[in-house]
Every structure is written in C-alpha cells, then in structure tokens.
Amino acid sequence: MKIQDFVVAAFVGWEAEGEKAPFLRNEPVKLTPAWEATNLPNDTLNLKGIAMDLAPPKDKYHIIFLTLMLHGLGTLTAWNMFITAKDYFVKYKLVNAPDYADNFHPYVGWASQIPNLLFSWFNIFVKIGGNLTTRIVWSLMIEVAIFVFTVVLAMVDSSEWPEVFFWLTMVSVFFLNAFNAIFQNSVYGVAARLPPKYTGAVVLGSNICGTLVVFLSWTSELFDSIRTSAIYYFIGGMFVLLICFDTYFALPLNRYYRYHDTLQQRTLRVNPALAATPQRAAAPATPYGAILAHSWVQLYNIFLTFFVTLTIFPTVHSEIKPNTPDFLGTKFMMITCFLTFNFTAMVGNITASLVQFPNRRWLALFTTIRILFIPFFLLCNYIPDKRTLPIYVTNDWVYWVVSVLMGWSSGHCSSLGMMYVSGTVAPEHASTAGMIGGATLVTGIVAGITFSRFCPIIVTMELWRGI
C-alpha cells in the first residue's frame, strides 16, 4: 500500500464519515484507497503534489500576503485618488462652476459608492462569468481604460465647459467604481479561501492606499503646472492597477495558494451535504440565510465601523480649519486629515494582524463606542464661517490626537471584523461570507457618505443661536 493512500484515507476517507482515524483509537489500521473511501474518482483527489505532504507548505517570503495586500491597495485606488485630488477639481477644473465645486466630495462619494454598493451585492448572488478570475481580470481591464479616459480629460482645456467636464467625470467615476466593486468583492472572496490574516492583508492594502495616494499627490505637486501634475497623478493610479492585473496571474503558480485553494475544493467535494455524485449532480444552492444568521454580529461591526468613518472622513474632516492661524501652515488639511487618517488606519490594520483584541464577542462594544467620534468632530472648528453651533474643541492638538484615534480604530476594527466574518461559518461558505463582508463594508461607506450630507445642516441650525 502506498503512503499517499494511507494519508488521504486517514484525513479524507475516515473524516468524511465523521469517525476518528483508527490509529487515533489505538486500533489496527485497515487501509482503503482514498477514492474508495470517498466514492469519488481518484482524479478529483489529486492535490497537484501538495496535499500528499504531511506538513502544509509555507507562504515563503510572504509572497501571497504581499500580493493580496497589493490587491487591497488596488481596491481603493480609484476612490482615494478622486477624493485626495480635491484641489485639482475644485480650484482648477471647476473654478468656473462654484456650485459643483462646493459639493464635489458628496457628489464624487455618491458616484463612487452607489455603484460600488449595487455591484458588490449583485456580485454575491449573480455569478458573473462563473468564477472569481474572470471577474477580477475583466474589472481591472475596464478600470485601466477609464483611468486612461481620466488622463485625457486632464490633458484638455475644459475651462469653457466646466459643467460638461463635471458630469463626464461623475459618469466615469460611476463606471470606474462599478467595476471596482466587482474587483474588490472578488478579492475578498479569494482571500477568504486562505487563513484569516490574508483577509487582513487586503484591508491593510486598502489602508496603505490612502497614505500612498497622499504622497503621490505631494510628489505630483513638484511639477509647475497643475495640469501636468494631474496627468502624472492619475497615471500613477493606473500603474497600480496594472501591477494588480499582472500579480493576480502569479497566484496559482504559488504552492501555498494552490494548497489552500485545492483544500477548499476538496472540502466541497467530500462534505456529504455538498458533494456531487459520480454523475456530477448540480451543487445545492448557497444557504445565504444561514450565513447571515451566523455572521450578523461581525457584519454589524463592519457596517458600523465604516458608517462612522465615512460620516467624518473626508467630508467633515477636510472642512475643519485650524484654531491657531499658522498651525501646520498650508498643509493643515492634508496632514491632519488625509495623511493622519490613512497612515493611522494602516497602523490599526497592522495592530489587528498582530493582536486580535478585542475578540469576536467584545468587538461590537468597541465599534459602538466609536459613534462618539461623530459629535466630537462636529464640535471642532468645522465650517467656521457658516456654523451656528458653538465651537467647543478649540485646541488643535486635541483635535489632531482624536483624529489619530479615529483613524487607528477605523483600521483596527475594520480589519478584525473582516478577519472574523469568514470564521463564523463552515469552511465551504467562507468565501461567500467574505464577499458578504465586503458588500457590508461598502454599505457602511454609502450610509456614512449619505449621513455626512446632514452634518452641515446640523451645525448650521437656527436653534443653536441661543446657546
């Protein structure tokens, strides 16, 4: 009897029948070929030379972790590039259309996240193209094409038709994020096939993205012309997506990735509730209700974390002015808002990977407490020329310290929620749970952006004049 028959029979055949392996019960071992133990053709258990090893392969040089981190960076490249380029749009392209310029962030937020929301959920229930690879490849190709269109718009002089430029930009942002939603959702599905820290890698990459875009924006400012700066700025974003496109095809070549991918496929085949017959009967429908019932607490954590964050950042956060006139000079908004949030969110993601605290049971308490950040930032020096609500946070250092806490907690709690959600269901449903977690993430973003539109109304209400 070959050693591989013993290994597979022990870990597949006996396990599939819900029994302990005989050698664990101190009984004589009766060897059965794997394909007889599972009633499956022997070719379906071919783990491509991986599963026959007693010890699973390692992620050498953390290649898979870094690759998924890069793809996480790619999932938020489009969003971060458009919100960080506020000065380019507001002070250059839309200078002759002040009505559009004043509401640029809410407009670009809705144009970005509404299609993201719709397609994220659509991607869960409708298997576009039949597999994750097709969805990721085509969505990346279309995103790159739209970035090329954005670069062309930056090249042309639109000063005579700012309204047309605005709506062309919004339409391109809409479609860019529609396909980005498919890409993002599918990436979380891929990461869910691996141990939880790899879902954390995707979230880490998305948080690194914001910091990278800030430095990319500063680098582009070295050019004398705003137009030239914008061209190279958006080309940089396109380059990131092209790297994601190339590295995705390297995943199946990696032994560690193939090992976990094949294990999941084998689980689907061996599990009596899901296994196909030798005639390859149709797989049962995905139990979405059961998945939601088991994972709803973590979905609540994911939703609330992003709702609070997007209520504040960037719409409220970027409109807070310094109380001390020369505090950080002309870079006050870029440093205390965009750089601080994105960098500390990245740090929060790293801390979540190192220490899983709080645990699944207590994470909801921490995400709920974060609601207090909303009234705090409204009490800062937010739109001082329009507000009627008194300013109670008058120390710029206090504001900055709380900004650090808000950014760190956003990265930490969102990472933990996404890491925990795939572990709340059976392994064969982990990928679907990861995709639902990604869609819930986007739902929280849209809800936060929508609520942020009420923040200026709240601080300018007439009832505050008597306070």
Per-residue confidence (pLDDT) for residue 268, from 0 to 100: 62
Task: Supply angle C-alpha 206, 210, 213, rounded to 5.
Answer: 125
Question: 87 and 18 in one domain?
Answer: no
Question: 383 and 248 in one domain?
Answer: no
Does some domain include residue 162?
Answer: yes
Contact residues for 82 (Cβ-Cβ < 8 A; gap 6+): 89, 108, 112, 173
Does some domain include residue 173?
Answer: yes
The residue among 248, 273, 298 that closes a domain is 273
Does some domain include residue 247?
Answer: yes
Domain count, the chain: 3
Per-residue confidence (pLDDT) for residue 266, from 0 to 100: 75
Question: 403 and 259 in one domain?
Answer: no
Does some domain include residue 56?
Answer: no
CB 428 within 8 A of CB 267: yes
Question: 253 and 393 in one domain?
Answer: no
Does some domain include residue 278?
Answer: no
Question: 193 and 329 in one domain?
Answer: no
**104: containing domain:** 61-273
Distance CA 306, CA 409 (A): 11
Regions in the chain scoring below 50 on pLDDT: 1-53, 272, 274-281
Question: 216 and 180 in one domain?
Answer: yes
Question: 417 and 344 in one domain?
Answer: yes
What CATH number corresponds to the domain at position 229? 1.20.1250
Does some domain include residue 234?
Answer: yes
Question: 89 and 30 in one domain?
Answer: no
Per-residue confidence (pLDDT) for residue 284, from 0 to 100: 64
SS3 205: helix
The residue among 243, 273, 303 that closes a domain is 273
How many C-beta atoms surround the C-beta of residue 91 within 10 A? Answer: 11
Question: 71 and 14 in one domain?
Answer: no
Per-residue confidence (pLDDT) for residue 128, from 0 to 100: 55
Per-residue confidence (pLDDT) for residue 278, from 0 to 100: 39
Does some domain include residue 443?
Answer: yes
Question: 369 and 406 in one domain?
Answer: yes
Does some domain include residue 393?
Answer: yes
The residue among 246, 273, 300 that closes a domain is 273
Question: 263 and 408 in one domain?
Answer: no
The answer to whether the Cα torsion of 62, 64, 67, 73 is positive or negative is negative
Question: 311 and 243 in one domain?
Answer: no
Per-residue confidence (pLDDT) for residue 127, from 0 to 100: 62
Per-residue confidence (pLDDT) for residue 431, from 0 to 100: 78
Cis check: omega of the bond before 314, within 30 degrees of 0: yes
